[in-house]
Amino acid sequence: EALVHRLRDEVVPASIRGTDAQVHIGGPTAMAIDLADKIGGRLPIFMVGVIGASFLLLMVEFRSVFVPLKAALMNLLSIGAAYGAVVAVFQWGWMSGLLGTTTGPIESFAPLMLFAVLFGLSMDYEVFLLSRVREEYLRTGDNSQAVRDGIASTARVITAAASVMVIVFLSFLLNEQRVVNLFGFGLAFAIAVDATIVRLLLVPATMDLAGRANWWMPRWLDRVLPHLHSEESDAAAVESTTDDRLPATGPG
């Protein structure tokens, strides 16, 4: 990589200075370097765009500022853990003999593809869990109870779905192609971390500690954002809960 850049930036310009000659340095190595540079330059923009869009959609859906911020940070935690595990196994060679992988540089497009797939899967779990928690919160008005009930009703489903995907992605290690092994291991590791440490431990812990701040949103922002759920339905849910708590009157 250093040689290609030195040839293009120093050697070639100096050798053709004062002439009309044009010199291009190509080939598989130069193409791989150009692709890595282009992807590396656009990866931060891509990440900011995906995270920003997810933050906005979650804010509209759950009428909260804290919930989408927490979701974005937790998803980045899962993806960061996957990046670290992939580098440790496929670049540094940790457990390469056990997993049957070969060491070498990480393909330039791997971080981009892993981020896109993993962020989507993580957000899927997040929306599934938070929807149940919010339903309970609107029904009871008790944040701690809502978090407990939401986890209790979704934990088995999340764990089962994650287990299936982990097994499927680990089967990619049986393939002879290194890049297929890399994607399979990275996806399996990230989903395992996301469905256990993040989704069933860190998310409920932070939501329980945050209390009612989970569902706080400035009034001006609430008026600006579109409403996917009518306020009347939310109010009706709370009102029906209040009615259910009233002592029964009449016979029986």
CA Rg, the chain, in Å? 25
d(CA 34, CA 38): 6
Q: Give me the mean pLDDT over the 3-23 stretch.
A: 89
Is the model's pLDDT at 234 over the cut of 90? no
Is the model's pLDDT at 153 over the cut of 60? yes
pTM surpassing 0.85? no
Handedness of CA 153, 159, 164, 165 (dihedral sign): positive
Mean model confidence pLDDT for the chain? 85
Is the model's pLDDT at 243 over the cut of 80? no
Written as six digits, the tokens of 153 are: 């009703």
Cα–Cα distance list, 100 to 89, 94, 191 (Å) = 10, 11, 21
